Amino acid sequence: MPTLIVATGNPGKLKEMQAYLQPLPWQLQLKPDSLEIEETGHTFLENARLKAEGVARALGHWAIADDSGLQVDALGGAPGIYSARYAATDAARIDRLLKAMGGIQERSAQFVCAIALAGPDGTVVAETEGICRGEILSQPRGNHGFGYDPVFYVRETGQTFGEMSAQQKEICSHRGIAFRQLMPRLVTLDLLG
């Protein structure tokens, strides 16, 4: 079974990717903690490419990476690529976001997930970007998921990501959309070739 390195040290992200890639005959492994790839890109896609390319080259294996985050229209796209670094904890990130939104009435936002797959030589062979539109609530709702999930409301479902089951979120989330877009390309790849 061919090995695919997931360019993250986060076991939660590995588990999520295993669920999306379950139909494929690949063994997923986390990158070593000692291997750090600096995210110097200006977009989610640039950072996903950097991580996939860097891990693939360093280890000589196929590598997949994603970069994702929240973009709030009224905040000029912030927190954007800095979503995970917006504050030290999920609760602090939500608190900072809600304070930044203050009395702003226009609360539209989107979650973005960019995914890149690189061959053992570091060449990116597939990439995509999934987007889920929604809005920011003034109070958190639900305790599923992580990050900004409890304040990100998806009008079509009538729920926040924090209120959705994992299966519901998989259907409409930015990451689910990105993997569904990428899957036709992935099923044609021979990771041993």
Residues annotated as catalytic are 67
| Contact assessment for residue 127 and residue 116, using Cβ atoms and an 8 Å cutoff | yes
Q: Which residues of 68-104 are buried (b: 16+ CB within 10 A; e: fewer)?
A: bbbbbbbbeebbbbebeebeeebeebbeebeeebeee
Name the helix (H) or strand (E) containing 113: strand 108-118
- The phi-psi region of residue 97 (left if phi > 0; otherwise alpha if psi is between -120 and 50; otherwise beta) is alpha
Q: 90: helix, coil or strand?
A: helix
* φ and ψ of 152, to 5 deg: -95, 110
**110 within 8 A of 134, measured Cβ to Cβ:** yes
